[in-house]
Structure 1
Amino acid sequence: MTRSQLYPLEVNPTTGEPFFRLPAPNENIIITPPRLSDELCFAPIINHPNVSVWLEGPPIPYLDEYALPWLNFIKGRTDAVLAELREEEERNPEGPLKIVGDCPVRHLREVLEDGSDIYIGDLGINRAQLEEVLDKEERAKQVEENNAKEIGDPTIRWTFGDYLAPSHHRRGIMSAAMKLVLEKWAVPRMGVRFMTGYTFAGNRASARVFEKSGFVFKRTLDSGKVVRGELKLLDYLEWTYPESEL
């Protein structure tokens, strides 16, 4: 039987939105594409001290006005992948599952008893910035080379970026979400074979999320990184596709 190009994603029969559902005991958590209605959901989570202290990129305090440009960017990425897959299915309905360059779902949501859902976090997969290469010029060169590699190239170095609402911490949600995206999409649908993981030193909870998906701690990096006026060390982890499955 021919499989949809969205496989192994499920599709909401009412809205047509693709999604992943986490396994028990977190089956009320789904991962969907970004929605424009998420615009006002970011700031309350990002500004929480239990989240902001571990984030590098967004400005803190995070204002609602910052959300729409970011939302348009990531939604553009997921929309493009979905359009590519739907076009492939229409053009070549009997063809093999296409390898793509991104995951079309990334926003975590809790489904409530009435069927509605609330935004609780983000899990994105990106080409790595190679923080483990300490020389800045060499890193820039290698990042450029990594970004130039064609989709499906097994030598591309990838990484995850994520955060979760503090109200949902310590429930195994992000660990389950990362493992699900890695095993069900990144490996079979993106051809991912090597991933890096970066956390601020001391963020043991984030390191454990990576480790539960098979990442292995390699070393702590001192690259002179300064975040909001504070020198930050990075714990560096790696994941490699098991040779036994090649």
Structure 2
Amino acid sequence: MTRQLHPLEIDPKTGEPFLRLAPPHQNIILTPPRQGDQSVLIQHMNDPAIYRWIEGPPTPYLPEHADFWIQFVEGESDATLEYLRKSAEDFPDGPLQFVDASPVRHLREVKENGTDVLIGDVNFRRSPFEEVLDEEERKRLQEDNANKQAGDPTIQYAVGDWLAASHHGRGIMTAAIGLLMTAWGIPRMGVRHVVAHTFAGNIGSNRVFEKNGFVNRGLFDNGKMIRGEKKVMTLLEWKHDQDEFERT
């Protein structure tokens, strides 16, 4: 199975796959979600410095919300790893198989004593086409996008992330998104087109994406309401240079 997990590393003690960020962030790793992440997740999702900039979490964020979410994302990760395990059996010497998700997404800071703590999350998913204002057209694009096979270069993905407020401003998320795109998204998912939707005014997130080659396409208003407040969005877009990729 190790070949089909490439370029993930394997923790020799736990057997858990991971990606390690490059220096100076080599103490930060990306791993699958774990049972036990709930308590730290609750802490972060109740921090207004985080939840004010992301769409998903209800407030207050309760243990049942964390249990549901960890079960969901852990299931996604397990399904991807199981597919890769089966691919290793079916194609022991064959090409690496495309998948539709990354099995590693939770950012963890590894301490000097070897323990680690959850500090963030970054992932790719099929795009919801938030930037398309016509509802019927948006639904059509979502359905068409969802029906494409993993590895199809015409799939539009969206990237989402959050990072502990204590770790803002260090370049960690910039490095994490760059690593996940180059190490997994492009070679293992066939990612060629990614968008990010940020709330207007989220200058920090916009800079993170721009440092990874995303182009700021400006603001759009699709009428989104988050926790009773209307939100105008920023669209950031990245497209892969296919010719450059083929030369590497």
TM-score range (shorter-chain normalised) is over 0.9
Is it true that 1:183 corresponds to 2:173 in the alignment?
A: no
SS at match of 1:131: coil
Q: CA deviation at 1:3?
A: 6.7
| Contact 1:28-1:112 at 8 Å conserved across structures | yes
Give the structure 2 partner of residue 170 of structure 1: 169
* Long gaps (5+) in structure 2: none
Is it true that 1:199 corresponds to 2:202 in the alignment?
A: no
> Structure 2: how far apart are the matches of 1:73 and 1:42?
14
Give the structure 2 partner of residue 39 of structure 1: 38
Q: CA deviation at 1:40?
A: 1.4
Give the structure 2 partner of residue 21 of structure 1: 20
Q: Please identify, of 84-93 and 208-217, the stretch whose mean Cα deviation from structure 2 is larger.
A: 84-93
> Structure 2: how far apart are the matches of 1:231 and 1:88?
45
SS at match of 1:162: strand
| Contact 1:187-1:193 at 8 Å conserved across structures | yes
Stretches of 4+ moved more than 6 A in 1? none
TM-score by length of 2: 0.96
Q: How many residues align?
A: 245
Q: 1:1-246 to 2 correspondence within 5 Å?
A: 4-245=3-244, 246=246
Q: CA deviation at 1:155?
A: 0.6
Q: Deviations over 1:128-156 (max 9, x none)?
A: 10011001111111111111111111111
| Contact 1:42-1:64 at 8 Å conserved across structures | no
> Structure 2: how far apart are the matches of 1:189 and 1:106?
14
SS at match of 1:20: strand
> Structure 1: how far apart are the matches of 2:239 and 2:128?
17
SS at match of 2:154: coil
Q: CA deviation at 1:105?
A: 0.2
Q: Deviations over 1:190-220 (max 9, x none)?
A: 0011011110010010111111111100120
Residue type of the alignment partner of 1:108: L
Residue type of the alignment partner of 1:147: A
| Contact 1:124-1:161 at 8 Å conserved across structures | yes
Residue type of the alignment partner of 2:212: S
Q: Deviations over 1:160-202 (max 9, x none)?
A: 1110111111111111000000011000000011011110010
TM-score by length of 1: 0.97
| Contact 1:99-1:151 at 8 Å conserved across structures | yes
Percent identity over the alignment is 51
Q: CA deviation at 1:90?
A: 2.3
Residue type of the alignment partner of 1:55: I
Q: Deviations over 1:93-137 (max 9, x none)?
A: 111111111101000000000000001111111001001100111
> Structure 1: how far apart are the matches of 2:243 and 2:195?
20
Q: CA RMSD in A?
A: 1.2
Q: CA deviation at 1:13?
A: 0.6
Q: Please identify, of 230-239 and 89-98, the stretch whose mean Cα deviation from structure 2 is larger.
A: 89-98
